[in-house]
């Protein structure tokens, strides 16, 4: 992905270097796990399966942190231009860009405490994306999703949840989720997540069309990431037998397919996972 030297976003709230001493207690962590449907990646199998995640730790901002922050900022700026345009041309409304909180170690959100173990997520309570760039290391080293475009896909996926929130989809889906059984609620979560993957695909297509950001192998990196973070793959690599009724994000195959559907069509209507007979 070509991103160096390009414009960054103004909508970054940089909380790194703020000490990172705030404790995420058991309750805080549980709160984020409970709203796991907002995570780009469901790390619950790792938390329960005894797997370990890369340590994050607060403290000093390193050169690597600075570069990762810049990468996220450019990617976020790209999502702003693309979604601004898509809202105008496909929705007929104005797009309000999302704020992205960069943190290191731990931080608080209205959705609960965030830490390296929770992974990146979107909190509808304050309409912000929370991201510790240490997650990119987890993504590459532990989840097997290598490459910068895998990381860009994660950012695009979280921004896509904001798009769903702006469109009223997230609020509607979540109010239904509160009234149904856990298995039904999980099934709705899968539709939310796959739609976010499809929107991420649209973003990748538009980013290429506008900025020519894609390099050889980038789409393969995003597709591999979508595959590596499918619920069946995550549960299996955490040493468990995949249990479809517990899936909240979709299988590897579904995640790849919906990303590709968005990438190939560029049409938001093609991402209607809620009316799809087959996911
Ligand atoms: Zn998600």
In a domain, 4, yes or no: no
175, 178, 181, 187: CA torsion to nearest 10: 50
70 is a domain residue: yes
Single out the residue of 22, 201, 167 nearest to residue 91, CA to CA: 167
CA 18 to centroid of ligand 1, rounded, Å = 27
152-206 tens-digit pLDDT = 999 999 999 999 999 999 999 989 998 999 999 999 999 999 999 999 999 999 9
Compute the distance from residue 197 Cα to the ligand 1 centre, in Å: 8
Residue 58 alpha carbon to ligand 1 centre in Å:
25
Question: How many domains, the chain?
Answer: 1
Q: How far away, in angstroms, is 39 Cα from ligand 1 center?
A: 4
Residue 13 has pLDDT above 50, yes or no: yes
pTM above 0.85, yes or no: yes
Q: Is residue 180 part of a domain?
A: yes
In a domain, 197, yes or no: yes
**pLDDT tens by residue, 48-86:** 444 444 444 456 889 999 999 999 999 999 999 999 999
Are the CB atoms for 159 and 76 separated by under 8 Å?
A: yes
pLDDT tens sequence across 117-156: 678 899 988 999 999 988 898 888 888 899 999 999 999 9
Measured in Å, residue 23 CA sits from the centre of ligand 1 at: 25
In a domain, 46, yes or no: yes
Task: Note whether residue 115 is domain-resident.
Answer: yes
Ligand 1: distance of its center to the CA of 166 in Å? 15
Distance CA 101, CA 159 (A): 12
* 37: containing domain: 12-275
């Amino acid at each position: 992905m070509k991103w160096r030297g390009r414009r960054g976003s103004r909508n970054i709230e940089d909380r790194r270097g703020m000490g990172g001493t705030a404790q995420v207690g058991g309750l805080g962590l549980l709160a984020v796990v409970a709203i796991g449907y907002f995570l780009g990646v469901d790390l619950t199998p790792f938390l329960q399966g005894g797997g370990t995640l890369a340590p994050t730790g607060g403290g000093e901002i390193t050169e690597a942190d600075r570069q990762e922050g810049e990468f996220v900022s450019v990617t976020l700026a790209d999502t702003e231009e693309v979604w601004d345009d898509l809202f105008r041309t496909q929705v007929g409304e104005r797009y309000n860009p999302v704020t992205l909180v960069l943190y290191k170690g731990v931080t608080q959100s209205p959705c609960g405490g965030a830490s390296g173990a929770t992974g990146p997520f979107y909190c509808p309570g304050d309409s912000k994306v929370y991201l510790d760039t240490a997650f990119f290391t987890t993504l590459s080293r532990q989840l097997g999703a290598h490459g910068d475009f895998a990381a860009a896909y994660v950012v695009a996926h979280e921004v896509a949840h904001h798009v769903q929130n702006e469109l009223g989809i997230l609020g509607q889906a979540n109010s239904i989720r509160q009234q149904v059984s856990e298995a039904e609620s999980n099934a709705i979560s899968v539709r939310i997540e796959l739609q976010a993957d499809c929107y991420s695909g649209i973003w990748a297509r538009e980013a290429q069309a506008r900025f020519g950001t894609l390099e050889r192998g980038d789409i393969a990196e995003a597709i591999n990431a979508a595959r590596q973070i499918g619920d069946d793959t995550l549960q299996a690599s955490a040493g468990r037998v995949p249990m479809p009724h517990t899936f909240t994000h979709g299988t590897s195959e579904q995640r790849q397919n919906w990303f590709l559907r968005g990438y190939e069509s560029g049409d938001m209507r093609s991402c209607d996972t809620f009316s799809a007979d087959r996911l």
